[in-house]
Structure 1
C-alpha cells in the first residue's frame, strides 16, 4: 500500500475555475483586458460629479480648466504677496535694512565657518585649518555684534536728536 491518492478517471476532470476577481459579466462587457487593479478601483472609487445632476456635470466638467483656474489663483496670490513685500521693503529705512542684512549674513557666515571648522578637526584631524575656520567664524560673530551695537547707538542718538534732548545723546556717547 502506498500513500498516493487514487487516480481519478480522465473523463471526470472538472473545468478550471475562472480567475479569482474576474466575474463573468466583466468578460461579457469586454473588460477582461483591464487589469484587476483598474476594475477594483472602479468598484471602490465612485464617480464624483459637480452640481445637482451628474449627467450635466460630467458633460460640462473640464478638469483642465479647473487646474488652470487654481494655478492662476495661486499666481495672483503670490504676485499680491510680492507686491506687499516690495511695499514693505520700500517703507523700511535704508540704514536699518543694510544693518539687518549685514548682521544676518555675518551670523550665518559665523555658524557655517565654526561648523566646518569643527568637522575638519573632528573628521580630518587638521587642527590648524579647523582652528583657523573657527577663529574666522568667531570674528564673523563679533562683527555682527559690533554692527548691532553701532546701529543701536545710531538709532538712540537719532531718537535723542529728534526729541530735542541733549541728555539722551550725551548718555549714548558716554555709555
Structure 2
C-alpha cells in the first residue's frame, strides 16, 4: 500500500544508513583492513601425527595420565549432573534424575580427589626452594644490621 507506515520506515532507514547490507561502508574500501591481510594468515597449520607424538613424548607421563583422567571425569560429572537436574525439573523423573545427579556429584568428588592426590605427590617430590637454614648458621637481616649500627656507636 502506498501510504503504509512500514514503507516509510524502510525509506527513512535507507536514507539514514544508505546500504542495508553494509551500513558502515564497504570494509574493503576502508583503511581499517590492510590489503595485505588475508584469512590464510590467521589459519594455523594442522599438526602432523609425528609432531603430536613428539610433543606428547616430552610431557611427564604422570601429568598426562592425570590430565586425561581429570578431563574425562569432569566431562562425565558435568553431563550426569546436568541431565539429572533436567530430568528432575522438566520431566519429574525424581528417581532417575536424582540418581544421575548423585552419580555425577560423586564423579566430580572423585575428580577432586584425583587432582589433589596428584598435586600432593608433586609437592612432596619437589625440593622446597625456601629451605630454612639450620640452627647452627646465624641469620642476619639487613634491618637488624642498620638498627644495631646506630645504637652501638
Q: Give the number of aligned pairs.
A: 88
Could you list the structure 1 runs, at least 4 aligned residues long, displaced by more than 3 angstroms after superposition: none
| Residue 146 of structure 1 pairs with residue 113 of structure 2 | yes
> In the alignment, which residue of structure 2 is the partner of 1:106?
73
User: Which has more radius of gyration?
Assistant: 1
Tell me by how many angstroms 1:86 deviates.
1.3
| Residue 90 of structure 1 pairs with residue 70 of structure 2 | no
C-alpha offsets along residues 47-72 of structure 1, whole Å, 9 cap, x if unaligned? xxxxxxxxxxxxxxxxxxxxxxxxxx
| Residue 155 of structure 1 pairs with residue 119 of structure 2 | no
C-alpha offsets along residues 63-97 of structure 1, whole Å, 9 cap, x if unaligned? xxxxxxxxxxxxxx54x543222111001111111
In structure 2, the residue corresponding to 1:160 is in which secondary structure?
coil
C-alpha offsets along residues 98-134 of structure 1, whole Å, 9 cap, x if unaligned? 1001111000001110111012112221111111111
> In the alignment, which residue of structure 2 is the partner of 1:126?
93
Q: What does 1:1-175 correspond to in 2, within 5 Å?
A: 78=46, 80-160=47-127
Structure 1 residue runs of 5 or longer lacking an equivalent are 1-76, 166-175
Higher relative contact order (CA 8 A, sep 6+): 2
Aligned CA RMSD, in angstroms, stands at 2.4
In structure 2, the residue corresponding to 1:86 is in which secondary structure?
helix
Structure 2 residue runs of 5 or longer lacking an equivalent are 1-44, 132-153
Question: Which structure is higher in helix share?
Answer: 1
